[in-house]
Amino acid sequence: MPIQPPSDALFAQPALEPMELFGRMRSLTIARSFSGTLPVIWQCSDESQGIKRALFGYAFDCPSFNLGRVGALLDPTRLATAAHHGHDLVIFGGSHLGAHEEGGVGYIERIHGQISPCCGLLCRVLQEYLEVYQRAALFIRLLRTPEGLLIEIPYKYLFRKPAGTTARIQINLGRLTAGEPLYDSSLGKVYHLHPALIAQHAAELVSVTAEPGAIGALLGPGLFTFSKALNPDSLDPRTMLEVGIFDFWSDIVTSPNPHRRLANVNTWRQFHRLAAYLTDAFSGKNRNVLVVAGLTLDHSIRRNTVIPQFAWLMERESSQQGQYLDPPTVTELLTAQPVFRPPKSYLEYAGVS
């Protein structure tokens, strides 16, 4: 059983303006005696992330080195190159989401006035799995009889099929049902509903009648998984994203805000990929390294706020043993830092007279 992502409540830390976040990060690096510091960033290539990236470099008085690509996927091996461009490293990154959320999807207005999902890649990947789940939640039905609460499962969900090129849902029959099928219906087979589900959802099940109705949101995580044939060595961004979060799709599609949940889970996964690389494969001897990861909320293509969620800190005297910081600890640590204010204007930093 894979480790599960943090809860929505843990992900939902206070949002900061970029220059406040970067200013607090700069103060932290000053307090920890960072020197020759290279800012390194991983984020989506979306235009809405451009000003944020520029401000990150401005806060550290050095243009940032890029580890990321579309979908906020990162290539941690690029750190080997970054290490030649600076001494200590401060790394920031994570997924982004349109701040206007509707129907579980985040949206943003583009330069030509079109309203579109943001991050678009995350949304496109999500839609395939979400549609498969919603179809199952509609077609699997509950009903009440003198024998008790029953569940009708269509044949298409009772047969195991090999993984194919599209997502397929695999129900956990042992957790949904109790005992053998009672009878065949025109759609599939009818079983007693599992007693554990009856106890867990007693209040919601009061409304179930003799007329079969969709199981809906009661088809929750742990009651199904997905299958899909994916190439773990693919360099296609969509496939790379799916491979990285595949174990967590049932958690994501059942969220009331699946686009945000996907963005958070992707940030969490990419952060741990980076931290693992820094621990196992990166030569960090005599270096300070700070990683801060979080969700960027796009209020427009120009303005963002950032929710810092995770951090990893390795100080040069630590024998390369990095320290993980969970969401509340990250918030507490950053809040304790003063906001560093660059002593020169952005144009002066950019060398524009």
pLDDT of residue 332: 96
- Whether the CB-CB separation of 149 and 102 falls below 8 Å is answered with no
Mean pLDDT over residues 231-257, rounded?
Answer: 94
Choice between 139 and 83, residue whose per-residue pLDDT is larger = 139
- Helix/strand/coil percentages in the chain, nearest 5: 40, 25, 35
| Tokens standing for residue 10 | 């843990």
CA-to-CA separations, 353 to 113, 286, 346, in angstroms, rounded: 34, 37, 11
The pLDDT confidence band at residue 165, using thresholds 50, 70 and 90, is: very high
The predicted-structure confidence for 19-33, as pLDDT tens digits, reads as follows: 999 999 999 999 999
Question: Of all residues in the chain, what percent carry a pLDDT higher than 90?
Answer: 83
Query: Which is it for the CA torsion 13, 104, 239, 163, positive or negative?
Result: positive
The pLDDT tens digits for 250-300 are 999 999 999 999 999 999 999 999 998 888 867 767 889 999 999 999 999
Q: What is the pLDDT of residue 72?
A: 85
Res. 337: pLDDT tops 90:
yes
Share of residues in the chain with pLDDT > 70 (%): 97
pLDDT attached to residue 321: 72
Split at pLDDT 50, 70, 90, the class of 83 is: confident
Task: Choose among 109, 54, 51, 46: nearest CA to 72.
Answer: 46
How does pLDDT run across 99-113, given as a tens digit for each residue? 999 999 999 999 999
- Indicate whether this model's pTM tops 0.85: yes
Please check whether residue 301 is in contact with residue 273, taking contact to mean a CB–CB distance below 8 angstroms. no
Q: In the predicted model, is pLDDT for residue 1 greater than 60?
A: no
**Sorting pLDDT into bands at 50, 70 and 90, what band is 317?**
low
Per-residue pLDDT band at 68 (split at 50, 70, 90): confident
For the segment 231-239, the average pLDDT, to the nearest whole number, is 91
pLDDT in tens, 200-233: 999 999 999 999 999 999 999 999 999 999 999 9
- Contact present, 30 and 79 (Cβ < 8 Å): no
Is residue 143's pLDDT more than 90? yes
Across 48-67, average pLDDT: 94
pLDDT exceeds 70 at position 193? yes
Supply angle C-alpha 296, 299, 305, rounded to 5: 40
- For residue 329, the tally of other CB atoms under 10 A from its CB is 13
Give kind and range of the element (H or E) at residue 297: strand 289-298
pLDDT above 70 (res 84): yes
Mean residue pLDDT across the chain: 93
